[in-house]
Amino acid sequence: MAEANDQGASPREAILDVAMQLFGKQGYTGTSMRDIAGAVGVLPGSLYAHIASKEALLADIVEDGIGRFLAAVRPHSGSDASPTDRLRAMVIAHIAIVADNPERSLVVFHQWRFLGEANIQSAIGKRRDYEQAYIGVIDDGMRAGEFRADLNLRIAVLTILGALNWTPEWLSPNGKLTPEMIGDLIADTLLMGVRT
Amino acid sequence: MAEANDQGASPREAILDVAMQLFGKQGYTGTSMRDIAGAVGVLPGSLYAHIASKEALLADIVEDGIGRFLAAVRPHSGSDASPTDRLRAMVIAHIAIVADNPERSLVVFHQWRFLGEANIQSAIGKRRDYEQAYIGVIDDGMRAGEFRADLNLRIAVLTILGALNWTPEWLSPNGKLTPEMIGDLIADTLLMGVRT
DNA sequence: CATCATAACAAACATTTGTTTACTAGCCAA
DNA sequence: TTGGCTAGTAAACAAATGTTTGTTATGATG
């Protein structure tokens, strides 16, 4: 059988799941409703009994995806641990979300451009909240003397977020290192750098 | 006038330039030949006097783009400077290429998936060469005792390349920091980390 | 049994897609 | 003036696009 029907899930969830996978692999504009229908195991028109439009499908996936990152990171960015420990925990939490489903992360990071004006603003806002969490910890660390005082805050945050946002490109859920271990190693690299 | 005709360039170069911009902004599958023709200021069919196909257009852009990164980094990765200095020079060179044209870099990093089987293998090969240059310097640095011995080589390289590959997403050629300064700051962050 | 909601089918729609073909206008060398 | 380039127009092609519509099978519930 060609269709992987996501046994036990509602048709709507099956569609969202399949769309997430295809949008991640082929991009939003590179995926047709016929592609999605084919992978679900249904005719194209049948999709519209469960979703409003192709763009609403994307909006749902992106909205939910960003929400997962925010929910995973917030408890740590707001904790009373040291900036070092907080940053490490945030990195590990981020990697856990990516590893849970790299395709979803690819959609969140790259396909939001194709949302309509309304949804795009909401996505950008939440993305800024996410960045702000990192800016906050780095700033705290610098003030506390735990992080280098000569850091360029903006560049440091973009460097860290860049390293994190690139992970769905290579991270495999089936690798031999667990997501926690990978997150820990990335946090090591970012916290202490490569120099001795 | 809506068309920016890239005065003084051959029609072929004008097309490549416009396609690069649009592929970067909207993606390969999100860009139609009519989009390109419109931006060049020409009718859709006219494009085919200068290019073989839409995919050949993408192949040209990606091939040339990867080549620029390789050409910019090779002299430094192969120099006889210290690993620290080599890595710093490679980062600065990378950022210079991105800053020169962020859209081109977006195409190189994200649109190669849409190449045909033949071109895709060539692109992956060159991309591996590029990674290898970074693996080499880090490995040298670790052996020389200049870089931390407890680094996970693979993770460190992916972290560094992630930070670098994400830059076209935010780097603006019109910012107040020069590309060299930005490269230097990123190199600082990656070499020494954020901790004191 | 009759009823009703769920889920899917079958077929069509208007548009947009990449590309081809035959033709024309302008220009520079012989 | 003739001839041959270079660059572009105009119109069409089959295929693929997102979506709508009317209809049908299948269960569970009254």
The burial class, CB within 10 Å (0-12 / 13-18 / 19+), for A1 is exposed
A147: helix, strand or coil: strand
Predicted pLDDT of residue B194: 98
> Which protein residues have Cβ within 7 A of any strand C atom?
A 10-11, 41-46, 49-50; B 31-35, 44-45, 47-48, 53-55
Q: How far is the CA of B24 from the C1' of D27 (A)?
A: 50
Q: In the block, which residue shows the tokens 């020409």?
A: B42
A contact residues 126-145, partner B, Cβ 8 Å cutoff: 138, 141, 145
Host H or E run for residue A75: helix A54-77
Q: How far is the CA of A46 from the C1' of C6 (A)?
A: 12
Separation of alpha carbons B94 and B106, rounded Å: 13
Whether the pLDDT of residue B6 is over 80: the answer is: no
Chain D nucleotides close to protein (CB under 7 A) are 7-12, 16-22
Q: What residues in A contact B151, CB-CB < 8 Å?
A: 188-189, 194
Whether the pLDDT of residue B3 is over 70: the answer is: no
Q: How far is the CA of B49 from the C1' of C23 (A)?
A: 14
Predicted TM-score of the model (pTM): 0.95
Give the bridge partners for A195, in sequence order. B147
Using one digit for the tens of pLDDT, what is the confidence trace for B71-99? 999 999 999 999 999 999 999 999 999 99
Half-sphere exposure of A161 (CA within 13 A, CB side): 24
DSSP letter at A41 equals: T
3-state SS, chain B, equals CCCCCCCCCCHHHHHHHHHHHHHHHHCCCCCCHHHHHHHHCCCHHHHHHCCCCHHHHHHHHHHHHHHHHHHHHHHHHCCCCCHHHHHHHHHHHHHHHHHHCHHHHHHHHHCHHHCCHHHHHHHHHHHHHHHHHHHHHHHHHHHCCCECCCCCHHHHHHHHHHHHHCHHHCCCCCCCCCHHHHHHHHHHHHHHCCEC
Whether the pLDDT of residue B1 is over 90: the answer is: no
Q: Do residues B94 and B162 lie in contact, with contact meaning Cβ atoms separated by under 8 Å?
A: no
Q: Which of the four pLDDT bands, split at 50, 70 and 90, describes residue B9?
A: confident
Whether the pLDDT of residue B2 is over 50: the answer is: no
What is the phi-psi region of residue B6: left when phi exceeds 0, alpha when psi lies from -120 to 50, beta otherwise? Answer: left
Whether the pLDDT of residue B5 is over 80: the answer is: no
Predicted pLDDT of residue A9: 80
Shortest distance, CA A88 to any CA of chain B (angstroms): 12
Mean of all residue pLDDT scores within chain B = 95
Neighbours of B94 (CB within 10 A): 27
Q: Do residues A138 and A151 lie in contact, with contact meaning Cβ atoms separated by under 8 Å?
A: yes
Q: What residues in A contact B196, CB-CB < 8 Å?
A: 145-149
Q: What one-letter code names the amino acid at B121?
A: Q
Nucleotide nearest to B12 (CA to C1'): D7
Cβ of B148 within 8 Å of Cβ of A196? The answer is yes
Q: What residues in A contact B192, CB-CB < 8 Å?
A: 148, 193, 195
B contact residues 12-31, partner A, Cβ 8 Å cutoff: 26-30
Residue A82, chain B, CB below 8 Å: the answer is no
Contacts of A143 (CB under 8 A, 6+ apart): none
Q: What is chain A's pLDDT, residue by residue, as a tens digit (196 residues)?
A: 344 445 568 999 999 999 999 999 999 999 999 999 999 999 999 999 999 999 999 999 999 999 999 999 999 999 999 999 999 999 999 999 999 999 999 999 999 999 999 999 999 999 999 999 999 999 999 999 999 999 999 999 999 999 999 999 999 999 999 999 999 999 999 999 999 9
Separation of alpha carbons A115 and A123, rounded Å: 9
Predicted pLDDT of residue A7: 56
